[in-house]
Structure 1
Amino acid sequence: MSLLGLLAAGILSGCESSSVADKVLDDKALKPPPSMVEETFGRGLTEVTVLLAKAPNGIYEGAARDIRDGAALAIGELDDAGVMKIKVIDVAQGPAAVAPALAAARARNSGLLISYAPQATTAAIAAIPADQRPPLINLSSPVAGANVFNFGFDEVASVARGVRPVITAGHKRIVVLAPNGIAGVDEERLRSAVGQAGGALIGVVRYDPAAPLGDLLTRNKALLDDAGAVVLMGDSPAVGTILKGVRASFAKLAVVGTSHWPIELYADPAASNVIIAAADPDASLLIGERYRRFNKRSLSVYAAEGYDSIAVAAGIVRGKGATALTPEALTTKTGFRGVTGLFRFTPSGMAERKIGLYKIDGGRLVAIEPKAVSF
């Protein structure tokens, strides 16, 4: 069986097995302990080291928490033979924490690193010579380095794919509403993507997801009145508040969402007919219910990335053994099919994805084009 087949069997067939799921949910030893302590999930000898940054309050929050919990679910579901484990290491101290953390991982014979950390910390991980650390799957902003594979599901790439049908339909003047943390380089990528699709980005409005939105839309009424479509970025509850305001005050605008929207928002009537380029929702559904039962919240794109990162390792180890966690195995041309869809790592260190195009209808994503089945 090809590596793609192995992983697909591990993720999809494994997820359809209620006995495996129930075992995970009933196994109290797999429940995440308080993240004030160093955490290990699984009982095998082959280690995957997950490098995350705790929040100032000393616990994992937001995307870091979701990645950890997605990875923990994956090790329970996909490592039936009990040969793997996840070691979660805090790198909140920044670049200074990297060298000792990686030296310790190497001493434990860790076979793979997975990280989600601020840019400077991730760059410090990538800068460690490849012969002094395992390969790295990076889930945060892309960095360059030997045996570094950038896997984070790029929200800008989701926008670039999602605006195409809207622009083709004649809504060429685009306004983007984005969280204030969006980087300047990503704003330029948005502008380029809209232009390549035949549209014009006439404005980027930034909002603070943690602050009252107040008169955000009123202050930008002239800009929105001049637009044909609005792209709404973000992954916080603020997205739903803004969406309702857009629908109420600017009903003529076509709306494009992103892969990072909270899944709960799909059920809101205001989300009807929103276009979203995202991973295959059917794959997400396979583990989404168990993730919710286990973690008391919905599966996010970050949790799906954490799950798939472990699924990649599990597929390789299951097929070829622990010593096969190599850059060559990670860059197989056939790729992998996981919760985040069909993807493969390239020798350049970037992930190539087949992103589907969907419309929100009846509270769920409905495909508006055939799904990709291979590269």
Structure 2
Amino acid sequence: MFSVLRTARKSLGSVVLALSAMALAACQPSTGPSAPRSDTVAVALLVPSGSGQASDQLLARSIENAARLAITDLGEVKIDLRVYPTAGQAAQASAAAAQAVAEGAQVILGPVFAEEANAAGVAVAAAGVNVLSFSNNPAIAGGNVFVLGPTFDNTARRLATYAVRSGKSKIMVIHDRNAQGEAGRAAIQNGVAAAGGSVVATGGYEFSQNGIVQAIPALAAQAKSSGAQAVFLTADTAGALPLVSQLLSENGVNPTVTQYIGLTRWDIPAATLSLPGVQGGIFAMPDPSLFAQYQSRYMAAFGEQPHPVSAIAYDGIAAIGALAKQGRGMDRAALTQGAGYVGVNGIFRLLPNGTNERGLAIARIQNAAITVVEPAPRSFGGAGF
């Protein structure tokens, strides 16, 4: 599975309203199987606690905190939030989802990992309850399961559109030879085609240090001979990116001439920004100003930094609250309203196929710092759409 959320599980590095202790206390969940009031939306939050792993416990706490923070921003909208542990396991996620629906849940928010989300969706499909999972894996999307995480397709399309518009329409795809890399390659190829560009070369490397070292000279030569104006990399910061970006440059793919483009976030962890090979590279990210506000508020409320995944939980509550404020239900037609929603990651909307579309900013790394070269759109129809 190539979910960024699974990666986060393994390596945890890391609109504005005032939050008061009274407001937070007022949003504590009800307990037990009692039915929620008729003017209240019953939301089941599935989190990965109970696995025995400290990383899962931290992630679960951050997700729950974010959901409660989002509830305080809903004004008169009432949310009955009930939290169910899944231990990060599909079987437990399935049981938790079934229990939640039996106890009156109208919509399920979470779980984190793709296998869990798929199992939860199957468990409650007959009841007509939708699952808004935190996964970014489009393979599980559809039916009653939505993925809220940033998808490769959305990111690739945004970056390819910017690259073509900037005169970098001839693109080479360089990818890891693993499930994540192959999925990324396909997303990039589709994104480039949709943007009106052309993929002039494609090449991969075995996902190991030796595999990268052996493959890069030929890939660099291919990039130069193909006339590629940009190289679009699937590598991420926790994997091959540091070595791939360095060796490409050392083998003559000059990043000041050939644009380096990253399918994944190149700013997490922050130490990545100082790598020589990524200087001048571009990647997509959520609206940084909105996310910075969220971080500040989260820190003030809970005394620690939020996990990046927690922002997706906030967005899920924002969508549920927006529909409740309109007096709408949590059915597929309502969830996929074209106007979308606004969360701490910026604008987003759920698509009929179960995936999502997010408004992303384009950022460039220069001198070990980030510069936003094209801001995230604030409505659907803006740049990148």
Q: Same fold (TM over 0.5)?
A: yes
Calculate percent identity across the aligned residue pairs: 19
Change beyond 3 A, Cα 1:198–1:342: same
Q: Is residue 223 of structure 1 aligned with residue 225 of structure 2?
A: no
Change beyond 3 A, Cα 1:62–1:295: farther
CA distance in 2, matches of 1:70, 1:181: 32
Q: Is residue 106 of structure 1 aligned with residue 114 of structure 2?
A: no
**How far did residue 154 of structure 1 move?**
0.6
Q: What amino acid is aligned across from residue 159 of structure 2 in structure 1?
A: G
Contact in 2 for aligned 1:331/1:345 (Cα 8 Å): yes
**How far did residue 73 of structure 1 move?**
5.3
Secondary structure of the equivalent of 1:371?
coil
Normalised by the size of structure 2, how large is the TM-score?
Answer: 0.70
Q: Of residues 268, 274, 284 in structure 2, which corresponds to 1:268? A: 274
Q: Deviations over 1:261-282 (max 9, x none)?
A: 3442575374443222333222
Q: Of residues 29, 33, 42 in structure 2, which corresponds to 1:43? A: 29
Contact in 2 for aligned 1:53/1:116 (Cα 8 Å): yes
Change beyond 3 A, Cα 1:135–1:216: same
The equivalent of 1:252 in structure 2 is: 254
Q: Is residue 333 of structure 1 aligned with residue 338 of structure 2?
A: yes
CA distance in 1, matches of 2:174, 2:213: 12
1:119-130 aligned within 5 A = 119-128=114-123, 130=125
Secondary structure of the equivalent of 1:324?
coil
**How far did residue 132 of structure 1 move?**
1.6
Q: Of residues 320, 340, 351 in structure 1, which corresponds to 2:356? A: 351
Contact in 2 for aligned 1:195/1:201 (Cα 8 Å): no
CA distance in 1, matches of 2:116, 2:128: 15
The equivalent of 2:4 in structure 1 is: none
The equivalent of 1:37 in structure 2 is: none
Secondary structure of the equivalent of 2:339?
coil
Structure 1: tracts of 5 or more residues without a match:
1-12, 31-40
**How far did residue 182 of structure 1 move?**
0.7
Which one is further off, 241-250 or 101-110? 241-250
Q: Is residue 157 of structure 1 aligned with residue 154 of structure 2?
A: yes
The equivalent of 2:33 in structure 1 is: none
Q: Is residue 290 of structure 1 aligned with residue 292 of structure 2?
A: no
CA distance in 2, matches of 1:356, 1:344: 16
CA distance in 2, matches of 1:92, 1:201: 42
Q: Deviations over 1:312-359 (max 9, x none)?
A: 122333453xx7334343222221122232222233333233444343
**How far did residue 113 of structure 1 move?**
0.6
Q: Deviations over 1:218-277 (max 9, x none)?
A: 642221243243334455445673476258625603211245334425753744432223
Q: Is residue 277 of structure 1 aligned with residue 275 of structure 2?
A: no
Normalised by the size of structure 1, how large is the TM-score?
Answer: 0.72
Secondary structure of the equivalent of 1:226?
helix
Change beyond 3 A, Cα 1:200–1:139: farther
CA distance in 2, matches of 1:42, 1:198: 52
1:18-29 aligned within 5 A = 19-20=18-19, 23=21
Q: What amino acid is aligned across from residue 43 of structure 2 in structure 1?
A: V
Contact in 2 for aligned 1:112/1:135 (Cα 8 Å): yes
Q: What amino acid is aligned across from residue 374 of structure 2 in structure 1?
A: I
Which one is further off, 111-120 or 51-60? 51-60
Report the count of equivalent residues.
340
**How far did residue 308 of structure 1 move?**
0.4
CA distance in 2, matches of 1:365, 1:69: 31
The equivalent of 1:38 in structure 2 is: none
**How far did residue 153 of structure 1 move?**
0.8
Secondary structure of the equivalent of 2:198?
coil
Contact in 2 for aligned 1:98/1:125 (Cα 8 Å): yes
Which one is further off, 326-335 or 167-176? 167-176
**How far did residue 62 of structure 1 move?**
9.8
Change beyond 3 A, Cα 1:52–1:262: farther
Secondary structure of the equivalent of 2:83?
strand
CA distance in 2, matches of 1:111, 1:235: 37
Secondary structure of the equivalent of 2:188?
helix
